[in-house]
Amino acid sequence: MPHPIDVQVGHKVRIARAAKNYSQEKLAQILGVSFQQVQKYEKGTNRISASRLWEIAKALDTDISYYFEDQDSGSGQGVEALRNRTIALAKQIDAIPNEDIRNQILNLIKACGTLAD
């Protein structure tokens, strides 16, 4: 049975990979491993060594600390749903070809956030 830390680190790899819009195959190619190995990392069934985690973080433009955030917070499914929704929203905004429109949408989202305060 995988250790909870290995599961969390793998889960964070999946989130960062999705946010970067990389397939498991693309990340595997960058790392020089099979996509099945990336699947095992993401499920936590195979532990990620420190050097491999450094390579993953570099490939996904993340800090190493990201993979250990929220370990003790007991984050539940609500947080996961929020993360997935945020990733989906980011992908949709990033897909807009016109940079001015992307910036306007981001400014609108920021303005809506200040209204909630």
The model's pLDDT over 51-68, given as tens digits with 9 standing for 90+, comes to 999 999 999 999 888 898
Measured from the Cβ of residue 32, the count of other Cβ atoms closer than 10 Å reads 8
C-beta of residue 41 within 8 angstroms of C-beta of residue 100:
no
Confidence of residue 71 (pLDDT cuts 50, 70, 90): low
Return d(Cα 21, Cα 35) in angstroms, integer.
15
Check whether 37 has a pLDDT greater than 60. Answer: yes
Kindly state the DSSP code that residue 48 receives in the 8-state scheme. Answer: P
CA atoms within 13 A on the CB side of 65: 0
Q: What is the CATH number of domain 4-68?
A: 1.10.260.40
Confidence of residue 100 (pLDDT cuts 50, 70, 90): very high
Check whether 109 has a pLDDT greater than 70. Answer: yes
| Domain chopping of the chain, boundaries | 4-68, 77-115
Measured from the Cβ of residue 75, the count of other Cβ atoms closer than 10 Å reads 14
